[in-house]
């Protein structure tokens, strides 16, 4: 790229901000609302944990097929067009959610979001970020992306919790279901509006280069897919993502844990759950910057160790009504590991020497396998929480998280050994 065509620092900064805004706002409606307001969402929509888990599972089932489709699409079409389309179509679902749909419609809404947020979005976001980072800043690029996403959610979450509280009586416990429902509808509409604004930001900020539209309009090149499937590093990366994503899915339980075990009201429980979200920018950016110095592989081992430690404490009987400090320390420890890994998921592609030309397809393959917790973790959490009400169900959830974290440590060590050998990508392709 010539000096004249290279984007300025200001344009690069705007592009990264657009990727951050898109990367998080697209998930506000499907996931962030439940992560912050899980007790409220269950009450307003009259759902059990199992029913909410079923909706998440439908999202995951559609998402698995969508990851497979989205990878080749990202290698063929412009990130600008794919990301903006995904944001607008996702926001459209927010209008249905705000109308108070039946459980049947609620389930299929999540299936719809499984397509809009994945097929049109995810691989395009990862490829655009990898291109932004170049050869020397992969850790920084993905760390800044996920750290920025985390900061956006933490700030937005703090604001919407304050708005939600302001819409209820001063004594939150006295609010009627009608008042809670009306207030929560306003929050849904706010999240919908933010998603639409992000679409406009992406459309007017990301560049439309001459190479945005591929000359070859064939979406699927099965030779490229087979090339990605032959890479041992791709399979190890998928295992790492599975183990890390189980921990991420369990962050949905923090606010409910605070309400049911520590005895907090729904607003205070949401505030306590926000502590985890504030760890995301710290964990993701810190891990990303360290990865460029120490290696992303080593940082994944350390991050899984943090998850295992924090989850193990939450899985014991140490947490109760008088142990808020222990609970906070545990979720901070686990969250630092969980969100550090979100900054490392795809930074390790550089260490595995996966060719940039097949990044979208490789991301699709990794994602089809790696995000299977979208299918099984929601129903599993629902079954554990409803099957053993109270503290026992929450302990079981985090015992599962701790077990997957240990498996993640093992997979990360194998990945390190493979990539140190210098042939993680080439051996399989030979």
**How confident is residue 7, by pLDDT bands cut at 50, 70 and 90?**
low
- Cα separation, 258 vs 268, whole angstroms: 8
Q: Which residue has the tokens 């959490």?
A: 381
Asked if 23 contacts 86 with a C-beta cutoff of 8 angstroms, the reply is no
Q: Which residue has the tokens 């947020």?
A: 117
Sort 406 into a burial class: Cβ within 10 Å, 0-12 / 13-18 / 19+.
middle
Residues 21-59: tens digit of each pLDDT = 999 999 999 999 988 898 899 999 999 999 999 999 999
Task: Kindly write down the DSSP assignment for every residue of 24-46, as one continuous string.
Answer: HHTTIIIIIHHHHHHHHHHHHTT
Residues 222-280: tens digit of each pLDDT = 666 677 777 777 888 889 999 999 999 899 899 899 889 888 888 888 888 888 888 88
pLDDT value, residue 76: 80
Residues 172-182: tens digit of each pLDDT = 888 899 999 99
Q: How far is CA 230 from CA 114, 290, 419, in A?
A: 27, 29, 15
What's the mean pLDDT when you consider all of the chain? 84
Q: Give the number of other Cβ atoms within 10 Å of residue 377's Cβ.
A: 27
What proportions of the chain, in percent to the nearest 5, are helix, strand and coil?
A: 80, 0, 20
Residues 78-124: tens digit of each pLDDT = 888 999 999 999 999 999 999 999 999 999 999 999 999 998 898 88
Mean pLDDT of 339-367: 72
- 3-state SS class at 227: helix
Q: Which domains, and CATH codes, for the chain?
A: 11-206+221-429 (1.20.1250.20)
């Amino acid at each position: 790229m010539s000096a004249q065509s290279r984007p300025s620092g200001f344009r690069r900064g705007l592009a990264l901000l657009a990727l951050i805004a898109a990367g998080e706002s697209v998930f506000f409606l499907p996931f962030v609302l439940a992560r912050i307001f899980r007790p409220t969402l269950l009450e307003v929509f009259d759902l059990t944990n199992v029913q909410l888990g079923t909706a998440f599972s439908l999202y995951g089932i559609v998402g698995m097929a969508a990851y497979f489709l989205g990878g080749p699409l990202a290698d063929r079409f412009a990130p600008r067009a794919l990301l903006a389309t995904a944001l607008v179509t996702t926001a459209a679902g927010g209008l249905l959610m705000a109308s108070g749909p039946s459980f049947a419609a609620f389930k299929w809404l999540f299936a719809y979001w499984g397509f809009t947020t994945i097929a049109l979005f995810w691989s395009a976001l990862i490829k655009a970020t990898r291109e932004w980072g170049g050869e020397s800043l992969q850790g920084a690029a993905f760390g800044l992306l996920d750290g920025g996403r985390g900061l956006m959610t933490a700030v937005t979450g703090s604001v919407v919790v304050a708005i939600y509280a302001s819409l209820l009586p001063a004594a939150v416990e006295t609010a009627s279901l009608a008042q809670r429902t009306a207030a929560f509808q306003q929050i849904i509409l706010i999240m919908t509006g933010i998603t639409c604004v992000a679409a406009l930001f992406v459309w007017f900020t990301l560049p439309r280069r001459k190479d945005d539209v591929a000359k070859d309009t064939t979406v699927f090149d099965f030779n490229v897919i087979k090339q990605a499937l032959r890479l041992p590093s791709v399979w190890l990366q998928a295992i790492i993502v599975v183990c890390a994503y189980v921990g991420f899915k369990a962050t949905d339980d923090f606010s409910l844990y605070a309400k049911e075990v520590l005895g907090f009201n729904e607003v205070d429980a949401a505030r306590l759950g926000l502590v985890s979200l504030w760890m995301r920018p710290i964990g993701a950016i810190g891990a990303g910057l360290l990865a460029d110095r120490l290696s992303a592989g080593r940082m994944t081992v350390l991050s899984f160790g943090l998850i295992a430690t924090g989850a193990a404490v939450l899985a014991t009987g140490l947490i109760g009504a008088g142990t808020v400090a222990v609970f906070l320390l545990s979720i901070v420890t686990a969250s630092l590991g969980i969100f550090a890994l979100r900054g490392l998921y795809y930074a390790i592609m550089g260490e595995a020497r996966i060719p940039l030309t097949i990044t979208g397809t490789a991301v699709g393959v990794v994602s089809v396998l790696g995000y299977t917790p979208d299918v099984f973790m929601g129903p599993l959490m629902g079954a554990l929480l409803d099957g053993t009400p109270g503290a026992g169900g929450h302990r079981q959830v985090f015992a599962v998280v701790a077990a997957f974290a240990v498996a993640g440590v093992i997979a990360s060590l194998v990945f390190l050994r493979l990539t140190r050998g210098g042939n993680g990508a080439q051996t399989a392709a030979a």
